[in-house]
Every structure is written in structure tokens, then in C-alpha cells.
Structure 1
Amino acid sequence: MRRRIHLFLSYLAPNWRTAVFLLLLLFTEVGLSLWNPQLLGRFIDRAVDGAEVDALVHIALLFMGLTVAHQIVVSLAGYFAEDLGWRATNRMRMDLTEHCLDLDLGFHKEKTPGELIQRVDGDVATLAQFFSTFTFQIFANVLLSLGILAISFEVDWRLGLVLLAFSVMVIPVLRRTQRVASPYFHRLRQDNADIAGFLEERVMATEDIKANGSDAWTKGRLDGLLERLRRTMRAESIAFRASSSALELSVAGATAAILVVSAMLLRGGGITIGTVYVSYFYASLLSLTLYRISNRIDGLQTAMAGMDRIAELSDRESAVPDTGRGALPDGPLSLTFDDVDFAYVDGRPILRRVGFEVPAGETLGLLGRTGSGKTTIGRLLHRGMDPQAGAVRLGGVDIRTVPLSELRARIGVVTQDVHVLNASVRDNITLFDPDVPDERIDAAVTALGMREWLDALPEGMDTRISAGELSAGQAQLLTFARAFLRDPDVILLDEASSRLDPATERIVGVAVRELLRDRTAIVIAHHMETVGQLDHIAVLDTGEVVEFGPRGELAGDTDSRFSALLGGAS
């Protein structure tokens, strides 16, 4: 609960003025709710006593005026509660998104995009509802309940005792409701996240599912997830309804007790008929407020479950800490892997004592079977993850001692996983950086041989595109253009030409040579043609560097693995 309160207040604090004004509105709304029944009781007593009609009309008009004022206050409070809720939760969405982007690649392999969307948007949406729900259905009603008890003691202490005894009995019922229902709300949020993750993965893999006849398995798996969700919702509903029924029985008993005590006091002349009405009204109002609280416990529990999941995500620390304060030297950078060990899962090493050095401005081709650790080396280079042993150095500096922003500003990455955004060609190339001049974009486009394609588009660089509209080669060319614009000192090409047809690959080859000129580079490739222009070759097998040396020497050595690979390719 301490963590929940801290999280709640940290996002409420920047909007404290709105929160204070909203609190004043709520106190006003509670005050008006308590005052109006007093006017009705006064009206009844004056009418019984034979008061003038003008006096009764005056009370009636005042009652109507207060009712109108009450509705205005409620409307204003509703507006500011919604505004406050969405301001706070939108800021929370931004913070969570930034936090997720800063987490290591291991975290993103562990969590599916669908689950993260459910965390960042779905769970936070429950908090937006929580602000308005909590404000009106819980917090305001708690204030109103306390006010009713205080007023009841002022009306008659015996009636106040009846209502107090009723409230004391009901509180354990509400607490029991919270304890019984809480686990189901946590499970419900997780079930929804699992379904979102499953749907995201399967929608992305629609083509593979259709082509390989996996429709039946996919439907069966989804049916199982939905069945689990149904059972969780059923259990949650039963737990809530059982507690709600107990509350309703308590409410009926309290109302009956108030009527009996009021009748006894009225017979003895201790109270007036107006007081009887006010007491009954307060008893009914207290019952209604407690019922509202109980009826919204589910919303509160859902919000609490979402808050716990948000706090869990916020507390997740990256396995790649950004604590470095060092700096990289200017100009081209040498690259060194110094006895690097790495494992995604303990006890299952991916890299073992990997060591090699690439001089500044020279290039290295990484070869090896699938699963030999080539892509992992690339991820360690830009600190998507950190090694368990050894070090990666650029310019002789351990990259863990350098701030991540500086490190990644010096490294350009082009992978085979292309992400085309639903935006203009210009925004896809610049990634929405408005400060990139058109001259630089044109230079990159021309160098990559994309000019003819762009000139054919209806609006040129301003044409909106999406992934489904581009060929694999066109999409890959966009990622090369992004790397050109960054002008990095170190380049990582992770099988970047694997999706290109031979004709497009030849066009890109000229641009790649220009991109690699005077830069340190690692090129991960399966095609032997890709490494023909590189300076050094490293061959990996089961996470170890089994061969390393100048490309020319290895190609001329008939006993080398590289030479055998060249022979196999020919």
C-alpha cells in the first residue's frame, strides 16, 4: 500500500492545484448532500405546526436552489476529476514507455509486445477510471458517510449510535470483500495481458499460420486462454456478489432499527415527525453510500491491481545500467572483444571467451551457422545487453564506462528486421527529426540508388507509406538511408542484405562500400558475396571464435574454414 500511495502521489503532485480545487468541490458536494435533508425536516415540522405558506415556500425555494447548486458542483467535480485523471495517467504512459525503451533486450525478449501494450495502456487506463470512480464512488461517499454519522449524533444521540453500530458492522464486510476479491483482480489483469500478447504474436504471424496449416492449433490455444479468462471472471463475480449480498442484508437491518427507534422516540415526544423523516433519510443515504462503496470495490480492486503491475514495471531495473561517465575518443574507433562470455539463460552459454580486435577504420565479417552467436555479438556492441565476463572496448575504452546516449550516437545499426512506420518517406528516413536538411536526405537517397523509386511516388518524399506497400528490398533500403544520415563512427550490419534480391543487393553494395569507408564495422552475413570487400574475417562455431584473420590470408589458406566456405559458395 505504501508503494501504491507513493506512485499515486508522484503523478498527482504536478497537478496539485487541480487536486486541491477538486477536493474543495467534493467537500462542498458532501455539505450540500447533508444540508438538503435538514431543509426537508424543517419543512415537515413547520407544516405540522401550521406555519404560513410564505415560510414554507421560502424553504421550498431554498431547497430547489441548493439542489441546483449541488448538481452544478457535481458536474464541475466530474469534469475536473476526469481532467486530472487523464493528465496524470497520460504522463504515466509517457514515463512507462520511456522506461520500457530504456530496458535491456533481455526484458523485451521475456515480454511480448502485446503484454507491454496491456501494461502501458490497459493497466494505466484502469487508473484513469480510478480517479473518477474513486473520487465519486468511494472517497466522496466515505466523506458523506462520516458526515451522516456526525449529523445523526447532533439530531439524536440514540439514532447516531444505531447508525454507528451499523457502520462498525459493515466495515469488516467491506474489508472482507477486498481480501476475497483482490487475488482475482490481479489474475484478471494478467489473463487479459496474456490474451493481448497471444493475439499480437499470431496477428504478426498470420501468413506463416495460414501457409503451414496452424489455424486449428491457434484457435484451440486462444479458446484455452479465453476459457481461463471466463473462469477467472466467474470466480471474481461470485466472490464480489457474496460480499455484496451480506452488505445489503446489513443495510436492511440498519434501516429497520432506525425506524423502530424513531417510532419509540416519537411516541415519547423525544423527537418530531420531521426528525423522524431526516433520520430515515440519513439511514437510507448512509445505506446507499455504503452500497456505492461496495459496488465500486471491483473498480478499486482493478485499479489497485493495475497499479501494482505498473509499479512492478516501473521498478524493473535494466540489466544494462546507464552509469558510465567516461568518453570515447574522437574519430575512427578500434573495436576489441576481450574474452567475452554471455548467456541469455544461466547455464546455457551463447558466447565463450570470444576475443578479437579490429583496428580503427577497418571492417570485420562474422560468419557461422545459425545460433553460433553472431547476432549476440552485435547486441553486445551497442549494449543491448552486457556480457557476464570480459569486456567490449571501443577506442580502448570499456563501453560500460560510457553513457548510453553517447555510445549509441557513435554506432549505426542496420538489421534484417525492418520497421516501416505509417508515415511519410521523409519521416521514415529521418525518424521524425525535423532538423535534418533535405540536402542530406537527397544525398543518402541518391547514394543508395533510391532516386528512381522516390521520383515515381505521387508526392515524392512526402508520400505516406506503410510496411505492406513496400517490397522487402525497398524497406531494407530505408534502413540503410537512416544509417547514412546518422554518419556514425562504427557500423553494425546484421545480415542486412539477406532480404534483398540479387539485383537490389548489387545496387546496395555500392552504397555499403561508401557507408563502410573509413569506419569501423562488423558485418554479419550468410552470403559470401557480402564479405568480399571486408578486411578481416571471424568464423564462429557454438559461441567460440574458431578462426580469425585477414580476409585475404584466410581465403588463400586452403586449410582454413573461410576458404572452405568460399569453396562451398562457389
Structure 2
Amino acid sequence: MQKICTFVKRIIKQKQVALENNAVKKKLFDVSLLKRVFVFARPYRGSFILSMFLTVVLAVISPLRPYLIQLTVDKYIANQMVQMLITITIVQVGLLLLETLFRFFFTYLTNWLGQSVIKDLRVAVYKKIVRLNLAFFDRTPIGTLTTRTINDIESINDIFSEGIISIVADVLMIIAILGVMFAQDWRLTLISLSPFPVLILATYWFKESVNKSFHQVRNAVAALNAFVQEHITGMVVVQAFASEKRESAKFKQINKKHRKANIDAIFAYSVFFPVVEIILAISLGLMVWWGANKVLNYEVTQGVMIAFIMYLNMLFRPLRILADKFNTLQMGMVASERVFKVLDSDDSIPDHGTKTAESMRGDIRFEGVWFSYVPDRYVLKDVSFHAKQGQTIAIVGHTGSGKTTIISILNRLYDIQKGQIKIDDIPLADYKLAELRSRIGVVLQDVFLFAGSIYENITLRNEKITREQVENAAKMIGMHDFIMQLPGGYDYPVMERGSTLSLGQRQLISFIRALLYNPAILILDEATSSVDTESELLIQHAIDKLISDRTAIVIAHRLSTISKADQIIVLDKGEIKELGNHEELMRQEGYYYKLYTMQFKKEGAAQ
């Protein structure tokens, strides 16, 4: 049932992808956003300056080769200067090699710069994500965050490798070529460039079409990631309710939108590049038509005509892809806007505390606590209780009564709206957040195990914990012999979410993990539910070991497992209905009495 509820929540979050994507509007070039991106390039300012220097060098070198060919034809070939012809040919080859070398360094440097920036940016985003509170994840699909951390940040790389630096390089080269062409023959230049208004119109159409398509592609990628992640995680629900066809149909629709967006972009490319080729052909034709007459009349040399053909080809080469590069830059800006939206999120638990928790005893006080996930819809209402050091407090109640919420706010996964929670008479907010959580051990009903070895899952890759400590903890829990029977023992690989282990085994591993961190407060959230009798006996033994000399808060559906608790809190719709030990509550014959007798009747009927 819990998996089904979790899956439904994820589906609701997935629906919010469309809302988020619709909120991203196409906008003009955002300089302030570009400045924020370049903040991450500051550690690599030397590489950035060098890449900009190379753009100037390439812009100067590019027009030299056509000019040298013009000089060769008009002067050295025409005058049969064989020795100079050999010399200038060697110079041209050397210039070509030099330009190739510079272009290699330029391409490598801009890509290296982009990869370095996104490496730092991806680390910053991940650090931000792991510090966000759970309310953020309640309303944000995991697939969307995956897109932000991987796809969108990868697009920011294009700002450096194919975006701003590359665009500046192309613009400088265009300016240099046009300057040389006008200096050589302004009339021939104007004739050659007369089709350019058509090229400008085609470029504008291409830029707008591709930009719109890329927006649709990015939104479709986010939707695909969210849908696939949600449904693979919830595959047990999909198959249990035989909804494979329905979910496949939904996926087909999302994938269809992704395909259409890509095809729209391909169509724009398929139209634009042939148009550019036609305009280039027209420009060359006009130049040859007008220039041929001038050559015959000795007003223009043959070398100038040959050079102009090269100039036009060099001019159209960057013009072909300049609009595409601008779109790439703009998509990088859109991606950066989404990434910075995550970085700017204030959905994190304030961590301004100064108190350490090394000497925490575990005396817990809830004083008039009110809490809501959604404003004005309180899940907990005026909850007050006192758990003394070393006591075991049990919390019972129907599903949705607020049991799990109490342990979530005790661990400061969420902050309360009213009242106060104290540990050892110190408000929670006064503790350093990491210190507080390090002294509270949590064992959840649905144990999450990462892909890795059993040892790594127990220690959570904490290098301060030795293997000897792990083995001693496992022996205390009664899990050591089982682990040693597995291939590789503690190095046995656990598949994603611990699928190679039973629910009880995963639960016991989480107990070892909790015991190793030696918490002052232990939280057990329905730790014995949904396991077989043999596993329950092992788990109960582990619980007895864990709660010894610790303050423990236990949530359990099976009331028989909490009868020895020092206090039992009975919750209903977020309010404490009864408070006392098992004998006291049974004598009252109230809410707890009804729950207890009802459960035993069900268990007796089941037997």
C-alpha cells in the first residue's frame, strides 16, 4: 500500500513538469544571466583570456591566404617570378599550418573551458539539491531534477564551446574579411553582397524556427526523463494493476511530442542550408558577371577575382552557422536559467545553529507543536509530550494520523509553524543541523539501499568507520553469519534499492547502520511491518539491542510490539487522544483499548 501511495505522489509531481515548462518563456538575450554563468569561469580566467586572444589572431590570419593568392597570380605568375613563386607558396603552406594549429588550440581551449565550468556548476547544483528540504522534493519530479543536473548543465557547456566565444570569433572574421574586400574593390564587394538581404531574412526565420523547436525539445526531454524515472521506479504498481498498455500509450504521446520537436528543427535546417548555398551561388554568379567585364577592360585583376571567390566562401562559412550558434547560445541561456532556479531555491532548512550535539542525552520535549505541509492545512495540531532520557515512546494511530510527521520534524526534515521542539532543553534550531541529525538514528519501514556493497551501504562510505566496527555491530544484531554466507561477504554487491535482499534482510542492514553511528535518539518507523515471523524475531532482537540506554521513538501498526514502551501516544487526525503506558491505556478502555482489541480480533480471525 505504501508503494502505491508513493507512486501516486510521484505521478502528481510529474504533472507539475508541464507547469514548470510552460513557465519558461522565450526571452531576449539576458546579459545578467550570462554574467552569472561567467562567475563560474573566474577560476579559469587565464584560459578565457587566451581563447579571446586566439579569436583575434584567427580573424587576422584568415583573410591573409586569399590576399597571398591574389599577390601570387597578379605579380609572381604574371611576371614569371619563379623563385618568388616558390617562396610565397612556402609562406602560404606555413600560414595554413599556423592557422590550423591556432584553430586546434582555440577549439580545444573553449571546450576545456566549458567542461571545467559545468564540472564546477554540476557540483554546486548537486550540493544544493542534497541540502534542500523534503518539501521541495514533494513537489518536484525526480526526473526534472535529473534533467537540470545532467542535460541542462551540459547545454551550458555550449555557451563556451559553440556559443559566445565562437560567435565573437566568427563576427571578428566576418568583419576582417569585409574590411579586406572593401579595401580591395568596394564596387565588386557591393555587387557580391547584393543578395544579402535575402540571407538576413532567411537567417531570422531559421533562428526563430529552431529556437522554438529547441524549447519544445528541451521541454519534451524533461517530460520524458520524469515519466521514465517515475514509471520504472513504480513498475511494481504498473504491472500489479495491469496498466502496461495505458502507460505505454502515455509514453508514446510524450515521445511523439519529442519526435515532432526534433523533426521541426530538422526541417528548419533542411531549408536554411540549401537557401544559403543558393544565395552564395547567386553572389558568386553576380561577382563573376560583373567582374569578368572589368577584367576584360583591365579594371580588375584576375588575382582579385580569385581572391574574392575565396573571400565569399570564407564569408558564407560562418554565416551558415552563425544563426545556429546563436540558437545554441540561447538554449544554453535557457538551460542556465533553469539551473540557477534550482541554485536560487530557498527551500532549505535554515542552519544557523551553534550548539554541538556530542553530549546529547536524548531528553525530548514537544511543546504545542503545529505543522502543515500545505499552508493552513495542519497535519499536527497542538502536540505536546515529554520523552525522558532512555525512555521508549511508542506512537500509534490510523494511517494519516501524523505518526511519520512527528519523526520527520524531530529530525528537522521539515520546520514547524507553531510551538517548539527541544532536545535536552535546547530548541532544535539552535543545534547545528549536521550535528543534530548525526545523533538521531532512523530506521524506516521502506529501507533504501544504494547500488554498491553491503559494507558501503552500512557505512554510507564513511571512511572513519572500520570493517572491524561493522562486523562487531553486525554480530550484535545477529546478522554477521548471514552476511558471511553471501558471495564476497561484506563486499557482496547490493543491486539498486537492495532488490537482491529480502525486506527483513534490508531492515537488519539498516539496524547495523543505525547502531554504528551510536545515536542518542533512535527512531523506528514501523520496522516490523510486512516481514515474516522469523525476520520479525530477528528484528525484535535487534530493536532490544538498539534501544538499550537510548531514547527511542517507535511507530508500529502491530500494537503487541510496543506494549513494553514507557509511554504510548495515541494520535488521531494530528491530535493526541491518549497518553500513557499500555496498562494505563487498557484500563481507560478508550481509543487505544479499541485499537488493541480490534487488532487482536483480526489476528485471531486470520489464524
TM-score by length of 2: 0.86
Equivalent in 61, 74, 86 of residue 57 of structure 1: 86
Q: Which moved more, 1:189-198 or 1:394-403?
A: 394-403
Structure 2 partner of 1:569: 599
Cα deviation, residue 112, structure 1: 2.3
- SS of the aligned residue for 2:571 comes to strand
Structure 2 partner of 1:302: 331
| Whole-Å separation in 2 of the counterparts to 1:243 and 1:307 | 27
Contact 2:160 2:166 in 1 (8 A): no
- SS of the aligned residue for 1:436 comes to coil
Superposition pairs of residues 104-503 of structure 1, within 5 angstroms: 104-134=133-163, 138-158=167-187, 174=203, 177-179=206-208, 181-237=210-266, 251=280, 254-255=283-284, 258-259=287-288, 262-263=291-292, 266=295, 269-327=298-356, 330-466=359-495, 467-503=498-534
- SS of the aligned residue for 1:26 comes to helix
- SS of the aligned residue for 1:223 comes to helix
Cα deviation, residue 374, structure 1: 1.4
Cα deviation, residue 100, structure 1: 0.8
- SS of the aligned residue for 2:422 comes to strand
| Whole-Å separation in 2 of the counterparts to 1:327 and 1:165 | 75
- Unmatched tracts of structure 1, length 5 or more: none
| Whole-Å separation in 1 of the counterparts to 2:268 and 2:336 | 21
| Whole-Å separation in 1 of the counterparts to 2:333 and 2:200 | 19
Cα deviation, residue 432, structure 1: 0.9
- Unmatched tracts of structure 2, length 5 or more: 1-29, 601-607
Contact 1:46 1:56 in 2 (8 A): no
Structure 1 partner of 2:35: 6
2:538 counterpart of 1:507:
yes
Equivalent in 531, 535, 547 of residue 516 of structure 1: 547
Cα deviation, residue 277, structure 1: 2.3
Contact 1:126 1:306 in 2 (8 A): yes
Structure 1 partner of 2:44: 15
Q: Pairwise CA RMSD of aligned residues?
A: 2.8
| Whole-Å separation in 2 of the counterparts to 1:163 and 1:101 | 58
Contact 2:369 2:381 in 1 (8 A): yes
Contact 2:133 2:349 in 1 (8 A): yes
Cα deviation, residue 526, structure 1: 1.0
| Whole-Å separation in 1 of the counterparts to 2:157 and 2:236 | 37
Equivalent in 79, 92, 105 of residue 76 of structure 1: 105
Cα deviation, residue 445, structure 1: 0.3
Query: 2:139 is aligned with what amino acid?
Result: E
| Whole-Å separation in 2 of the counterparts to 1:238 and 1:392 | 61
Structure 1, residues 145-179: CA drift from partner, whole Å, max 9, x if none?
Answer: 12212322332344566688877886676566545
TM-score by length of 1: 0.91
| Whole-Å separation in 1 of the counterparts to 2:143 and 2:194 | 49
Query: 1:332 is aligned with what amino acid?
Result: R
**CA 1:340–1:178 in structure 2 vs 1: closer, same or farther (change >3 Å)?**
farther
Percent identity, please. 27
Cα deviation, residue 568, structure 1: 2.4
**CA 1:276–1:544 in structure 2 vs 1: closer, same or farther (change >3 Å)?**
same
Cα deviation, residue 296, structure 1: 3.5
Structure 1, residues 398-451: CA drift from partner, whole Å, max 9, x if none?
Answer: 222333212212211111222222222211110111221233212210111101
Structure 2 partner of 1:97: 126
- SS of the aligned residue for 1:351 comes to strand
Structure 1 partner of 2:10: none
Cα deviation, residue 286, structure 1: 1.2
Q: Which moved more, 1:121-130 or 1:180-189?
A: 180-189
| Whole-Å separation in 1 of the counterparts to 2:596 and 2:345 | 46
- What is the aligned residue count? 569
Cα deviation, residue 516, structure 1: 1.7
Q: Which moved more, 1:99-108 or 1:387-396?
A: 387-396
Cα deviation, residue 242, structure 1: 6.3
Structure 2 partner of 1:549: 580
**CA 1:479–1:21 in structure 2 vs 1: closer, same or farther (change >3 Å)?**
same
Cα deviation, residue 198, structure 1: 0.9
